[in-house]
Structure 1
Amino acid sequence: MAIPQAASPGTAPEKKPVKFSNLLLGAALNMFEVTTLGQPLEVTKTQMAANRGDNILRSVQKVWGRGGVFGFYQGLIPWAWIEASTKGAVLIFVSAEAEHYARVGGASPFTAGITGGVIGGVAQAYATMGFCTCMKTVEITRHKQAASGVKPPSTFVVFGEIYKKEGIKGINKGVNAVAIRQMTNWGSRFGLSRLAEDGIRKITGKEEGAALGAWEKILASTVGGGLSAWNQPIEVIRVEMQSKKEDPNRPKKLTVSSAAKYIYQQNGIKGLYRGVTPRIGLGIWQTVCMVGLGDMAKEAVAKLTGEVPTGKH
C-alpha cells in the first residue's frame, strides 16, 4: 500500500471522498501482488514459521517437493484471492476515515498516519483476513496425508469440516493474532514510511511537505515495508495457532500468550523470528507493487470507471 502524503504544516485537513475507483484500485493491486511473488513468499514464510527447525533452503525444498512451482501457490485460490480482493478496499476506506478524524482532532500527520494504519489493520483482520489466513495456513500445513500417498480432501471440504466441528471460532482461529499483526504492520509501515520520506527530503534538499518523485516514494515505502517485519513473532504465533501440523506436545487450545510460551519453550527466541527473511521480502514486494505500479493502475481504473482515483494504495 502506498502511504498517503502528509498535509503541509498549517493547512486544515481536507477530507477526500473515498471513490469506487480507489477501492477497485486497492483490490486490483493486491491481486497482482499476491499472484506474482506474494504467495510464494507467503508459503515459504508460513512453512518456516510452522517448521521452525528448517532453514530457508530446506523450507523451499519441502515446498517444491509438494508440487514443484505449484507448491508455492498453495492457498492462492480461493483464499489468497478472496483476502487480496477485499483487504485493500477495507484498509483504504477505514484508514482514510481514521486518519482524517485524527487530524481533525489535532494529531500531527505522523500520528494520524499511524492511527489510520492501526485502525485500518484491525478492520482488515476482523472483516476478511481472519478466516482467509486460517484457511491458507491449513492448506500449507496439512500435507501429512499427501506425503503418505493419500489424496487430501479439497480445501472446501476442509473448510466445511472445521465449521461443522468448531463453528465460526474454528474458521477464525488465530484472528486475534492476525489483528495484532495487522495493526502493528500498518502502524509501523505508515509511520516508518513517513519518517523515511522526511529523511529523503532532507537528503535531497526538499522543503518539508514537498512532493516526492516516484522512485523516492518507492524507496520510502520499501524502507517502511521492510522494517515493519520487526513484529515477526506475532506472525509466527499466528501460524502456530492456525497450523494443522500434528504435535502431541502442543497445548490443545492455543491463545496468543500460550502459543508464544510454547514456541519459546520449543525453539527459543530464534523460533519466534523464523521466516523473517521471506517476510521482509514480502513487505518490500507489496510496497513496490502498490507504489511503483500505482500510476499505471490509476490509468487503467480510470478507463474502467470514468473516475480518476484520488490516491494510490
Structure 2
Amino acid sequence: MTQAEISTVKPANPVAKKPTSWKNIALGAAIQTFEVSSLGQPFEVVKTQMAANRGQNLRVAIKETYKNGGIKGFYRGLIPWAWIEASTKGGVLLFASSEIEYVVKKMGYGGIVGGLLGGMGGGIAQAYTTMGFCTFMKTVEVTRHRQVGEKTSTFRVAYQVFQKEGIAGLNRGVSAVAIRQMTNWGSRFVFASVVGGSLSCWNQPIEVIRVEMQSQIKNPDRPKNLNVVSTAKYIYEKNGFRGFYRGVIPRIGLSVYLTTCMVFGGDSLKEYFGTK
C-alpha cells in the first residue's frame, strides 16, 4: 500500500464526540438545587461543623448547629453560595469531563482511562470555576462567630474578605477542593451510583483539610498562611489520625443522597422531558 493510499484509510471505529445536551445540564442544575435545598445542606453543615470542631461527635455537632440558629442553622450558606454551586458545578463537570474524555480516547486510550481522567479533570474544573469560592463562603457561614443580634449579611462578609485578601482570599482552600473533587469524580466515574458515592468518601482527610483552611474559628496555635501540607500536619498534631475523619458519617449521607437524587431523579426527569 502506497503512502497516498494509507493517508486515505479511515479508522475502523472513529472516536465520536459526545454532544452537549443543554437540557440535561439544566435538569442536572435543577436536581442539584433541589438536593441541596432539602437534605443536602443540613448534611453539609453538620459535616463542616464536625470537621471544624474535631472534638465534637455527631450528636454534639447537631445540637450545636441547632443551638446556633434553630432549623435555619442547618441551612447556613444555602443562599446564595450553595445555590450558585449546585446550579453550575454539574454543567462544568459534564462539559469538562466530556471534552477531556474525547481527547484521551482520540489519543488511543480505552473508555476506562478516558472516564477516569475525564472525571478527575472535570472535578478540577469545578473547583477552579465556582466551587472554590462557594465552599469557602459556605464554611465561613458555618464557622464564623456571630455576636448577639448581629445582622452582617453574607455578601458583606464576602466583600470584607475581598477587600482584605482579594480573589485569593475568596478562593482560600481551593487547592484542597480541587484534590477532593478530582478524587471524588475519579472514583464515581469508575464505580457505580450509590456505591460510588459512598466509596468516594475515602478522601475525607482532604475534606477536613479544606474545612480547616477555610474555617473562621480562631485558634491561636494554628499556623498562618496554611497550605494543604501544613494544614495536614497541624490537624495530625492536634487530633491525631482520627481527626482526618471527623464528619465522615454526614458526608456519606450527603454523597448517597446526592447520588440517589441524580440517578433516580435524573432518570425520571429525563424520561418525562424526553431528553434521554
TM-score by shorter chain over 0.5: yes
How many Å apart are 1:97 and its aligned residue?
Answer: 1.3
| Structure 1 partner of 2:210 | 238
Q: How far apart, in 2, do the equivalents of 1:177 and 1:295 lie?
A: 31
Partner of 2:261: 289
Secondary structure of the equivalent of 2:225? coil
Matches within 5 A, 1:121-200: 121-142=123-144, 144-146=145-147, 149-191=148-190, 193=191
* 2:101 and 2:114 in contact (8 A); partners too: yes
Residues 114 and 188, structure 1, Cα contact 8 Å, conserved in 2: yes
CA shift, 1:16, in A, is 2.2
Corresponding residue of 1:107: 109
Letter of the aligned partner of 1:309 in structure 2?
A: T
Return the index of the structure with the highest Cα Rg.
2
Name the structure 1 match of 2:198: 226
State the Cα deviation string for residues 106-156 of structure 1 (Å, max 9, x = none).
2222211111100000000001000000000000001x334xx24151111
Q: CA deviation at 1:299?
A: 4.4
Q: Percent identity, please.
A: 58
Counterpart residue type for residue 172 of structure 1? N
Counterpart of 1:295, as a letter, is D
CA contact (8 A) 2:97 2:118 kept: yes
Match of 1:278 among 230, 237, 250: 250
Which residue type is aligned with residue 183 of structure 1? Answer: M
Conservation of the 8 A alpha-carbon contact between 2:213 and 2:231: yes
* Counterpart pick for 2:66 among 64, 67, 84: 64
Structure 1 match to 2:8 = none
Give yes or no for contact 1:26–1:92 (8 Å, CA) kept in 2.
no
Asked if the contact 1:114/1:187 (under 8 Å) is kept, the reply is yes
Aligned residue in 1 for 2:225: 253
Cα distance in 2 between the residues matched to 1:231 and 1:248: 27
Using the alignment, how far apart are the partners of 1:107 and 1:25 within structure 2? 31
The alignment yields a C-alpha RMSD, in angstroms, of 1.4
> Is the CA contact (8 Å cut-off) linking 1:44 and 1:72 kept in structure 2?
yes
Instruction: Check conservation: 2:28, 2:266, Cα contact below 8 A.
Output: no
Tell me, in whole angstroms, the C-alpha distance in 2 between the residues paired with 1:160 and 1:285.
33
Distance in 1 between residues matched to 2:195 and 2:267, nearest whole Å: 20
Residue 46 of structure 1 corresponds to which residue in structure 2?
Answer: 48
